Amino acid sequence: MATGRVVAVVGATGAVGSSTLRILEERKFPVKMLRCYASERSAGKTLTFQGESIRVEKVGPEAFKGVDVAFFSAGSAQSKELAPLAVRAGAVVVDKSSAFRMDPAVPLIVPEINAHAIKKHAGIIASPNCTTIVTVMPLKPLHDAARLRRVIATSYQAVSGAGVRGVEELRRQTLAWARGEAVRAEFFPHPIAFNVIPHVDSFAENGYTGEELKLVNEIRKILECPDLPISPTTVRVPVFTAHSVAVNVETETKVTADRARRLFRDFPGLRVWDDPSQNRYPTPLGVEGHDDCFVGRIREDLSLANGLNFWVAGDQLRKGAATNAVQIAELLIR
């Protein structure tokens, strides 16, 4: 770590933080010095980066002196408190929480889609919700080619999207079921093992969940379509890693299934995995560990002249979180 940038990772011991360290290493991001921060509970732990041991420190207001890029993945409350301090210390913040996503002064970036918006940043850049990223990646080429008129999206979200406690709950309940013991919900509102929960995040007064409203508002901001009609449903499923989304779109001009495959295939960050005769379509296990989002089950809507159905899956810890954040930082240093 002799040349490059001074990088800080806040929330370094969490699922997204540890993925960020791994992806910085994989993508050979130019790190001159790495500082790992977490809560007091995790301070003192040791992490390995590029063969060196890095001691985790408690994050605080004085943590960012001399930092060039700070990745935040420790929750919106901490981001709201500490990100402005990091900016005042001279760092550029890439924030993975929901704290600044809908702030008009903060760009919300998926590099393959709206890299141009990063020029407007004033020290903080937001990375979208993981479900938003997986969903919006295939929407962009369709929108460019035929203009989106309406989107219906139903997500099937892995438990790791809820953090370490979500993963532990699914594992514990699965083992309890195998032993013939009672399956009890402690973290999620209902048992998640061998079940699906049509509820991700808290409910708003209109009956939609926070996760569903994020999907609507963030897609509109990223695509720069503030009035795009989007109908969302988000569901938690007993999968450890990778979110999947069933999407139906209506476009202003017709897009055939064959043309959609070509549009998806030519778009950076997407892979077409679509041969039903060979049972070839994306699954969470199949996409885990990949940075691309995979699209399949591409077919024309039987009920609508300009409608299209498809299924998209992506690793929400990588492209849905850490990889997207590192790609944003790569844009910054170009």
Count of all residues that appear for the chain in the document: 334
pLDDT > 90? residue 134: yes
Classify 317 as helix, strand or coil: coil
The contacts of residue 62 (CB under 8 Å, 6+ apart) are none
pLDDT at 1: 52
pLDDT at 9: 96
CA distance 63 to 12: 14
Going edge to edge, which strands form the sheet with 31-38? Answer: 46-49, 52-58, 31-38, 5-10, 69-72, 92-95, 124-126
Catalytic residues: 130, 243
Mean pLDDT of 79-88: 96
Task: For 7, list phi and psi in degrees, rounded to 5.
Answer: -120, 135
* Number of Cβ atoms within 10 Å of the Cβ of 208: 17
Per-residue pLDDT of 261-295, as tens digits, reads 999 999 999 999 999 999 999 999 999 999 999 99
pLDDT > 60? residue 181: yes
Per-residue pLDDT of 111-126, as tens digits, reads 999 999 999 999 999 9
Per-residue pLDDT of 230-259, as tens digits, reads 999 999 999 999 999 999 999 999 999 999
- Tell me which of 35-44, 65-74, 299-308 is least confident: 35-44
Mean pLDDT of 79-107: 96
Q: What does the mean pLDDT of the chain come to? A: 95
Q: Give the β-pairing of 230-236 and 148-157.
A: parallel
CATH of domain 5-128+321-333: 3.40.50.720
* Number of Cβ atoms within 10 Å of the Cβ of 279: 7
CA distance 289 to 149: 33
Confidence of residue 70 (pLDDT cuts 50, 70, 90): very high
> Which CATH number fits the domain 132-316, given the four candidates 3.30.360.10, 3.90.1150.10, 3.40.50.300, 3.40.50.720?
3.30.360.10
Per-residue pLDDT of 19-53, as tens digits, reads 999 999 999 999 999 999 998 888 889 999 999 99
pLDDT > 80? residue 2: no
Helix intervals (H) in the chain: 15-26, 76-88, 111-114, 130-146, 164-178, 210-223, 257-265, 284-287, 323-333
pLDDT > 90? residue 174: yes
The answer to whether 139 touches 223, Cβ cutoff 8 Å, is: yes
CA-CA distances (angstroms) from residue 40 to 44, 59, 144, 164? 9, 8, 47, 17
pTM: 0.95
* Number of Cβ atoms within 10 Å of the Cβ of 323: 26
Residues facing 153 on adjacent strands: 232, 247
pLDDT at 201: 86
Kindly state the tokens that stand for 323. Answer: 């990889």
The domain locations on the chain are 5-128+321-333, 132-316
CA distance 222 to 234: 19
Q: To 10 degrees, the CA torsion angle through 15, 20, 21, 23?
A: 120
